[in-house]
Structure 1
């Protein structure tokens, strides 16, 4: 298609909120973040105020990349990056374990991460 047509389509997608922004694909080890982990957490009491407060405060921590509120056995999925395993352990014990609203958490170390760069239409 012509460049002007492409630009117009992109402009319309941005206006409709389909395209919400543009992001750099950053190599985390280059920023001294060689360890990535997924942490699931359960909080109590389970209320909107506790969920909203926990989500905001956890998202502000420098080790946290993403915070997901989930359904099922766990209330949150937190994506964390640290320089090394010792720093991850310190994050878990000094930042998470001391929080009164957390009743439990589990950590999974990520060995590899693959992210799709294009989305195909669904049937």
Structure 2
């Protein structure tokens, strides 16, 4: 499977993906049993999906409240100009900021949507003043504070 082409995933591959998303620390033996394979073919399928870019990595999920980052802010950014150089410059700048957990290039009235985490309102104000408002080309910034999290999932509905 080439990384540039969309891989052809069968039902077993999708069961493997679902199980790995639910428990990234599952052993190959337990995973193989769960999806109805022996360990060798199961591991071979995992490696093929890694090589194809379907599986991009493994990580621990950390509770943001438990590490002192309880505030989530969704920030809509409108640039002064929507040309490729300006869009690219903004994207490059925010990739270095650890507070920015997610960034999406958007259609509609705003150009980017960010999810920012921080310890408190003062930390967000510092982020806003010292980083976002200092970027050239930012036309407007609109912040929305999350009051609570209703659902959070990293498990894609792969079937």
**Fold shared per TM-score above 0.5:** yes
Is 1:117 aligned to residue 127 of structure 2? Answer: no
* Residue pairs, 1:3-14, within 5 angstroms: 3-14=39-50
Aligned to 1:73: 109
Shift of 1:118: 4.5
Separation of aligned partners in 2, 1:108 and 1:41: 12
Shift of 1:83: 0.5
Aligned to 1:38: 74
Aligned to 1:82: 118
* Residue pairs, 1:51-66, within 5 angstroms: 51-66=87-102
Shift of 1:23: 2.0
**Is the strand fraction higher in 1 or 2?**
1
TM-score, length-scaled by structure 1: 0.87
Q: 5+ residue gaps in structure 1?
A: none
Aligned to 2:144: 108
CA RMSD, Structure 1 to Structure 2 (Å): 1.6
Aligned residues: 121
Separation of aligned partners in 1, 2:67 and 2:85: 34
Q: Is the 8 A contact 1:59 1:65 kept in 2?
A: no
Q: Which structure would you say has the larger Rg?
A: 2
Separation of aligned partners in 2, 1:50 and 1:102: 9
